[in-house]
Structure 1
Amino acid sequence: MDNTSISEIIKNRRATPPRLFTKRELAKEVIEQLLESATWAPNHKKTEPWRFKIYTGDAKVKLAAETYAILKEKQAEGYPVAPEKMEKFKSTLDRVPVAIAIIVQYDLARRLPEWEEIAAVSMAVQNMWLHATELGLGAFWATPAFMELFEEVLEIKPGQKCLGFFYLGEIMMDYPSPGRGDLSAKAEWK
């Protein structure tokens, strides 16, 4: 997508289902480029609240096994997680080349409301997503309801919260745009 305008990149960005990713590994340098783009997101008081844990190769396989074991254990204890959700989560982790845990690090001085820190992390993810789109990569932000069960395995520290996983990979085929509704229904000029 060389020489593509930012407007076109924005319009071409997709939440590509991980089942449409190839299993081909991504170069570490490519992942680092995306993470670098993330760090340029706006954030209030320069808190830079984004934290990323990158899982590829054996580390990703280990994460898939550990999180699945946690889900099985919690399900046996009565935690309401559907078996098909557990299987889908594990198979997705097994399938995608890159899984990045998206973590917010709240300002420990509590100078900012929680929503501002989450918004900054969301903009960091959007930067990664747009850069991935420019490179022709697929991306998907998964936010399963059971993320809080993985705090120990993800080594979540006090003042942090995992906001899901950002999956990356080469895509097998284009995924069509779901389109957008008419702007006039969402914008009101005064």
Structure 2
Amino acid sequence: MPARNDAALAFLKSRRSRPAKLFTLPVPSRAELEEILTAATRVPDHGKLEPWRLIVVQGAAFARLADLAEARARDLGGDEEMVGKGRGQYDTGKLAVVVIASPKPSPKIPPVEQLMSAAALCFGIVNAAEAAGWGACWLTGWPAHDPVFAARAFGCAEGETVAGIVHIATPPTDGPDRPRPDLSRLVTWVEA
């Protein structure tokens, strides 16, 4: 029988989603963040392609990104709600890791599997940060999906997309948990 890791299972079963806008200082040091990223990058990368890259955002970079999001919203003719949503996570950000899905040409590994590797990395960063005692929240928002903003903000080239922006900082004290999925509605057991 395989060896169980009850501590890891208990951690995963008890993790909570907390809004990044409620995070406060301090944030992880560079060494602490490198430990988190080292743990998180142990994701399925399909033939060692590493179909992603990371950008660490901190300090004044958040104000620059907020201004870029506002400018892009106005270029698109957006209303104040669009501007506010675009600026939101950057106006309140403390430290974030932007995961850029960067698929590589491969006859064996389809682009969708490479994108899923980037998504797995986002969740790996969330879990590693929370295991290290920090709060972590995986966000995107309309600017992350806008190719013009993504190119200006994160240097995304053609074919690259923002898989996630993982905010990491000191979490608020735990509040009520959100409702969790009812597995009896979602799981189908196939035995033959």
Deviation at 1:82, TM superposition (A): 4.4
Flag structure 2 segments of 5+ consecutive residues without an equivalent: none
Q: C-alpha root-mean-square deviation of aligned residues, in Å? A: 2.2
Cross-structure match for 2:140:
143
| Cα distance in 2, alignment partners of residues 132 and 153 from structure 1 | 24
Matched with 2:165 is 165
In structure 2, the CA distance between the partners of 1:85 and 1:185, relative to structure 1 (3 Å rule), is: same
8 A contact 2:126–2:138 mirrored in 1: no
Quick check: 1:143–1:163 contact (8 Å CA) kept in 2? yes
Bigger Cα displacement from structure 2, 113-122 vs 88-97 = 88-97
Alpha-carbon distance in 2 for matches of 1:43, 1:155: 22
Match of 2:58 in 1: 56
Which among 97, 102, 105 is matched to residue 102 of structure 2? Answer: 105
In structure 2, do the counterparts of structure 1 residues 110 and 160 end up closer, same or farther at CA, with 3 Å as the change threshold?
farther
Q: Sequence identity of aligned pairs in percent?
A: 26
Q: Deviations over 1:165-185 (max 9, x none)?
A: 211111122143224233333
CA distance in 2, matches of 1:170, 1:183: 31
Task: State the 1:104 CA deviation.
Answer: 0.6
Structure with the larger RCO, 1 or 2 (CA within 8 Å, 6+ apart): 1
Task: Confirm or deny: 8 A CA contact 2:101 2:114 kept in the other structure.
Answer: yes
Per the alignment, in what secondary structure is the counterpart of residue 55 of structure 1?
strand
Between the aligned partners of 2:52 and 2:15, the Cα distance in structure 1 is 21
Deviation at residue 141 of structure 1 after TM alignment? 1.6
1:110 deviation in Å? 5.0
Which of residues 76, 80, 104 in structure 2 aligns to 1:83? 80
Q: What TM-score comes out, normalization by structure 1 length?
A: 0.84
Alpha-carbon separation, structure 2, partners of 1:47 and 1:70 = 32
CA contact (8 A) 1:12 1:177 kept: no
Whether 1:131 and 2:131 are equivalent positions in the alignment is no
Shift of the 175–102 alpha-carbon distance from structure 1 to 2, 3 Å rule, reads: farther
Aligned to 1:78: none
TM-score (norm 2): 0.83
Q: Does 1:122 align with 2:119?
A: yes
Please identify runs of 4+ aligned residues in structure 1 that moved more than 6 A.
none
- Aligned partners of 2:72, 2:142: CA distance in 1, in Å? 14
Asked whether 1:12 is paired with 2:9, we answer: no
Secondary structure of 2:101 counterpart: strand
Helix, strand or coil for the counterpart of 1:153?
helix
Are residues 161 and 21 of structure 1, via their aligned partners in 2, closer, same or farther at CA, if it must alter by over 3 Å? Answer: same
Q: CA deviation at 1:47?
A: 1.0
